[in-house]
Structure 1
């Protein structure tokens, strides 16, 4: 754990929270936590750059705030990573879900 100062309580890193703790955090839908979700997703992408769903979730956040070009870039990256994951996977359910959401997000971003 890290602390920002001696008076503050410890803050957890992505690795310390674990995958499911982060996933629950990213699913929040309130406007107030949108910036927190973006920071968490930036952190997740820095630690796991080959995980397509991280790019999909960040692209969806970008769409919510009107950053359509950034969203489009993230959805394209998710599609590329998803294709690669599908080629390597026997089941590929998660990769297919990420691809489907990326295609949907890409269509929305390009229409705006």
Structure 2
């Protein structure tokens, strides 16, 4: 191993230095994790990305409305149930426009249940 490292770093003492490091440190260096602040930046940025992705998908009212709209023409429901689906869909859209996304999602979820989506 020393011979291979000395070929990689012929003009410096890096070969001997790397040999003296712990195996965990060698693995970290080989994976590019030798810079702690860079690693922390990646972890923070990844966490922020996951947070915003989860937030965006949690209130996907327009997507729910599209799913309801796509299913309504082909749904075989009694007229009373279909009118309830339309009312819930309209209520969900109204609540979405008012910024009440949780309530909107409740109404849209109920409409999707009636449609069997």
What TM-score, normalized to structure 1? 0.32
User: Computing the radius of gyration over CA atoms, which structure comes out larger, 1 or 2?
Assistant: 2
**TM-score (norm: length of structure 2):** 0.30
Higher normalized contact order (CA 8 Å, seq sep 6+, divided by chain length)? 2
